[in-house]
Structure 1
Amino acid sequence: MERWVGKTAVVTGASSGIGAAIAVQLANAGVRVVGLARRSHLVEELQAQVRGSGPIHGRQCDVTKLEDVAAAFQWAEDCFGCIHILVNNAGVFISGNITDLAEGQLSDAQILSVMDTNVRATIMCTRHAISSMKKHHFDGHVVNINSIAGHYIPFANFNVYSSSKYTITAFTQSLLTELANLKSGIRITSISPGLVDTAMAGGVQNMPMLKPADVADAVLYAISAPPTVNISELTIQPTSEKRL
C-alpha cells in the first residue's frame, strides 16, 4: 500500500455499510478519502474511527444526478488534485417482479432507482475518475463493488438488481478491454461479495454473512497488487455460503 500513501481516493456511498468500512480502511492505510453520499455529515463522522494518517472528507452528492457527480469530482480535483483511486460502491437493492403477471411488481421509479444508482452512476463516476488520471498522467485504480448476484440469479425477485449487477460485470470487462487496447496502465477490479451484514440485507437471519470490513479488506488487497498485476475479478463469500 506504500504507493497509495498520501494519494486521493473517491468512495461513493460512503456514509454507511460497505462504503463506510472502505473509507475507514483506506484512511487507516494513509490514503486521503473523499466520501460521496447524500448524508455527507455521516462521512465526516467516520474520521473518529480512523487510526491511520489518512483524512476523510465528506461531500454531499446524489450519484444519480449528473450535475451532482460532475460538481463533486470537480471539487475533489480543485481541492486535492488527481483522483488516484475510485471505489464505485453506491448501490440500491429493491426486490420485486419486473412484470405485473403477479403481485409484487416493481414500480417504474424503483426500477429507475436501481439502474441509475447501480449502473449509470458507476459508469459516469468512472469516466470522471479516469479523466482525472489521464490529466495528471497517473495510472490509478477503479474498483467496482459488484455482487455474486452479478454472476448468477440467487432468487427470482432479484430481477432488476441482478440485471444491474450483471451489467457491472460486463462494464468492467468492457473497460478492461478498452484500456488494454489503449495500452493504459490504469487497473480495474470488480469485487463480488456474497451476503454482507448491512442494512441492505434486510435483517436476514440464520445465514452466513460477511462483515463490511471483509469487503474493505478485499479492496485493499486488490489495489495492493504490484502495478504490473491487475486483479480483474474477485469473489468473496462467507464460509459455508451456498448457491440457493
Structure 2
Amino acid sequence: MDKWQGRVALVTGASSGIGEAICENLVKHGMKVVGAARRIKNMQDLVEKVKNENGTFLPVKCDVTKDEDIYALFDKIKETFGGVDVCINNAGFFGTGGTPEEWRQMTNVNIIALCLCSKLTVNSLKERGLDDGHIINISSLAGHQVYPFGESHFYTGTKHAVQALSEGLRQELQADNSGIKLSVVSPGLVKTEVFNHVHGNPMYNKIYEGNTSLKSEDIADLVSQILSAPPYMEVN
C-alpha cells in the first residue's frame, strides 16, 4: 500500500458497515480518504476515531441518487485534493422489490451512481495525466447467481448489471491501453445494516441467525490487498 500513501480515495456509502470499515482501513494506510454518504453525523464520528492515523478523512454529505450531489462531490474533491485516484463504489440499497419506487431506488444507487462515479474518476485521472488509478466496485454473490427468493430478484438484477458494466468498463480501459485498473468484490453475507429497513419480515430476521457471516473488516482488508497488487497484476 506504500504507493497509495498521500493519494486520494473516494468511498461511497461511507457512514456504516463495509464503507466505514474501508475508510478506516485506507486512512490507516496513509491515504486521503473522502467518505460520501447521507448520514454526515456517522462519518463525523469516524473523523474523531482516525484523527491520529497516518492519513486523513474528509466526510461529505452526498445523496448518490442525485446526479448533482455526485458532481458537487467530485468538484469538492478537485478543489480540496486535486482529484480522485481510487474510487470504491460501495453504496448499495437492498429493497424487497415490491414497488416501482424501490426499483428506481435500487437502480439509482446500485447501478447509475456506480457508473457515474466510475466515469468521473476516469475523467479526473485523465485530466491530471495519471494512469495508475483504481476503481473497485462492491457487488455481491447475487451478481453471479439467482437465489430462489422472489423479493430479492430485482436487487439481484442490479448486481448482475454491476458485473456486466464493470467488465465492460474494464474492457474499454484495456482497449485504451490504460493503466487504470478495475476490480469487483462480490461478498456473500456480511454483518451490516443492509436488512435493517426490512426488519419486519421474519425471513430477514433469521438470515443472520442461521448463517455464518463475514465482517465489514474482512471486506476492507480485501480491498487493501487488491490495491497492494503490483502494477503488472490485474485483480478482476
Q: Residue 120 in 1 paired to residue 124 in 2?
A: no
Q: Percent identity?
A: 37
Q: Residue 153 in 1 paired to residue 146 in 2?
A: yes
Q: Residue 63 in 1 paired to residue 64 in 2?
A: yes
**Aligned pair partner of 2:216 in 212, 215, 226:** 212
Deviations 1:36-80 (A, max 9, x none): 011123212112332631111100110110100000101001100
Aligned equivalent of 1:164: 158
Deviations 1:186-231 (A, max 9, x none): 0000000000001114543131100000010111011110011110
CA contact under 8 A between 2:170 and 2:182: conserved in structure 1?
A: yes
The size of the alignment, in residue pairs, is: 223
Aligned equivalent of 1:36: 36
CA contact under 8 A between 2:13 and 2:19: conserved in structure 1?
A: yes
Aligned equivalent of 2:55: 54
CA contact under 8 A between 2:74 and 2:83: conserved in structure 1?
A: no
1:120 aligns to what SS in structure 2? Answer: helix
The two structures, once aligned, show a CA RMSD in angstroms of 1.1
Any unmatched runs of 5+ in structure 1? 97-105, 233-244
Aligned equivalent of 1:99: none
Quick one: distance in 2 between partners of 1:49 and 1:36? Answer: 17
Report the residue type matching 1:2 in the other structure: D
CA contact under 8 A between 1:41 and 1:58: conserved in structure 2?
A: no
Report the residue type matching 1:166 in the other structure: H
2:232 aligns to what SS in structure 1? Answer: coil
Quick one: distance in 1 between partners of 2:49 and 2:138? Answer: 22
Any unmatched runs of 5+ in structure 2? 197-204
Aligned equivalent of 2:171: 177
Aligned equivalent of 1:136: 128
Quick one: distance in 2 between partners of 1:137 and 1:145? Answer: 26
1:75 aligns to what SS in structure 2? Answer: helix
Structure number with the higher helix fraction is 2
Quick one: distance in 2 between partners of 1:219 and 1:201? Answer: 23
Quick one: distance in 2 between partners of 1:73 and 1:137? Answer: 17
Deviations 1:71-129 (A, max 9, x none): 01010011001211000000000124xxxxxxxxx111111000100000000011111
Report the residue type matching 1:148 in the other structure: L
**Aligned pair partner of 1:107 in 93, 99, 118:** 99
CA contact under 8 A between 1:17 and 1:199: conserved in structure 2?
A: yes
Aligned equivalent of 1:95: 96
TM-score (ref. length: structure 2): 0.92
TM-score (ref. length: structure 1): 0.89
Report the residue type matching 2:42 in the other structure: L
TM-aligned CA deviation for residue 137 of structure 1: 1.6
